[in-house]
Structure 1
Amino acid sequence: MSAARVRHALAEDLDRVAELAAEHAAYEMATPPAPGLADRLARLLFGPEPPRLRCLVAELPDGRLAGYATCAPELSTWDGAEYLHMDCLYLSATERGLGLGPLFIEALREEARTLGLTEIQWQTPTWNEGAIRFYDRLGATPKQKLRYTLPVDPTA
């Protein structure tokens, strides 16, 4: 039997990625994604413009998708350089502990190398102790900041 793998998402994966994103939002006690997420992701990943987003999926030997990670290049003013921002990394609760997290991190490192980037940055909720232990084991360094959001009315 073949092993689980992490690969780039295909268009046909996006309905499952949207389901996983809804699970992720519930896990983080956040507002669920608005309907039509798979279509919005398709435009960001495969639209006529150069892709703004990259999406990786964890595929189990039986073909099921167990998780996803999304990332995009971002800029650091202080460093005067780009880095890879990991926006999401999520594994279904039943698929944790199978070694998929390290596969995702290695795939994200390879994505950064491919883009010529030397750093990956991300954030996780302060209460997510399992994720924090995982990231600490990787040798990642936490930075203390609060994340704010500010809605913008596009019609104003």
Structure 2
Amino acid sequence: MIRTATPADVPVIHALIRELAEYEKASEEARASVEQLGEALFGERPAAFAHMAVDDESGEPVGFALWFLNFSTWRGVHGIYLEDLYVRPAARGGGHGRALLAELARICGERGYGRLEWSVLNWNRPAIGFYEALGARPQDEWTVYRLTGEALAALGSGR
């Protein structure tokens, strides 16, 4: 049901990312190319990792989890930051999302990582309910900040 992604999965992962962006009402923001994704996952210095959820009968991919390592200065160990988790609507309710998260939790335990964390859009009540049913809890005391575009360029150039 869950397997590590391979280079042959990159076009499918790219398509799933596009589907996720559409679901999150942000299609115009999903600009990564298949080539960029392949380099990030399988290049000389991979920056991210992925797992595939596949249909038991057909073997066709129905979802994915894309993640990378973070580091806790307080705990002194790595953790996993889950950038994207997506299961196609027709396959939801089949245990694929839970199985993807369980695989990442297993990796955390096996490698001594201290946490598994991710962000979820406030309006995505089905996902929030799913995560909370697994025992995940929101980190309400933290607010995510982001620099992109012109603000990022300005700060980086000293403007």
Paired position in structure 2 for 1:153: 153
TM-score under structure 2 normalisation?
A: 0.85
Report runs of 4+ in structure 1 exceeding 3 Å deviation.
77-81
1:114: Cα distance to partner?
Answer: 3.5
Paired position in structure 1 for 2:107: 111
Q: Identify unmatched segments of 5+ residues in structure 2.
A: none
Q: Distance in 2 between matches of 1:114 and 1:43?
A: 26
TM-score under structure 1 normalisation?
A: 0.87
Q: Distance in 2 between matches of 1:115 and 1:70?
A: 18
1:35: Cα distance to partner?
Answer: 5.2
Aligned-pair identity in percent equals: 29
Q: Identify unmatched segments of 5+ residues in structure 1.
A: none
1:128 pairs with 2:124:
yes
Q: Equivalent residues in 2 for 1:46-125 (5 A)?
A: 46-49=42-45, 51-60=46-55, 61-125=57-121
Q: Which amino acid aligns with 1:11?
A: P
Paired positions, count: 150
1:55: Cα distance to partner?
Answer: 0.3
Instruction: Tell which deviates more after alignment, 78-87 or 128-137.
Output: 78-87
Q: Distance in 1 between matches of 2:147 and 2:29?
A: 17
* CA deviation string 1:22-81 (max 9, x = no partner): 110111112342252x211211221112x2211011111212211110111102234443
Q: CA RMSD in A?
A: 1.9
